[in-house]
Amino acid sequence: MSRIGKLPIDIPSGVTITVDSDVITVKGAKGELTVPHLSDVTVKSEDGKISVTRKDDEKIAKSQHGLQRSLINNAVEGVTKGFEKKLEVNGVGFRVAMKGTDLEMSLGYSHPVLYKAPQGIQISTNKMEITVSGIDKQAVGQVAADIRKLRKPEPYKGKGIKYADEQILRKSGKTGK
């Protein structure tokens, strides 16, 4: 039995969950998300809790059990609290600023880099810190990864864009022995 999949999900007040044959819709104060209903698991909503059970003990059913529970839990958490990731920009001459809804960055290239935020994702800056927030956990993580990919942190001086909680393994230069 999946340790994650067997845990019930509490439905907070103000959140409604609709279970259909192909999608699960979660509506809350911050918005609405849809989660695909995986084929080898059953989702039941009863007395303020959501429970996920698998149909049989096949390998695919076992792998989908915990996944389905995590997807639903992330959707419930997203429509109630939302998600955010923080990125830090380190480097001499590096700058970040908002230009309307777009993120304009000067990252040591010969041109400024413009990043357009996708629908449902908010980006804000505070000096050399970028905050990506939204209700979809996967989309927030993907946007943060795309921004980080524009200038990955290098191991010698640590210049680049890194996650706020990321540790950069530093290398010593050519100092010899």
Model pTM greater than 0.85?
yes
**Domain positions in the chain:** 9-80, 83-163
Domains 9-80 and 83-163 belong to one CATH topology: yes
In a structure prediction context, what are the per-residue pLDDT tens digits for the chain, which is 177 residues long? 678 888 999 999 999 999 998 999 999 999 999 999 998 999 999 888 999 999 999 999 999 999 999 999 999 999 999 999 999 999 999 999 999 989 999 999 999 999 999 999 999 999 999 999 999 999 999 999 999 999 999 999 989 999 999 999 998 888 766
pLDDT of residue 174: 84
Strands (E), the chain: 9-10, 16-19, 23-27, 32-36, 41-46, 49-54, 83-90, 95-99, 102-106, 113-116, 121-126, 129-134, 160-163
The CATH number, out of the four listed (2.40.50.100, 3.90.930.12, 3.30.710.10, 3.50.50.60), of the domain defined by the range 9-80? 3.90.930.12
Residue 165 vs residues 10, 158, 173: alpha-carbon distances, Å: 29, 14, 24
The CATH architecture annotation of domain 83-163 reads Alpha-Beta Complex (3.90)
Strands (E), 13-106: 16-19, 23-27, 32-36, 41-46, 49-54, 83-90, 95-99, 102-106
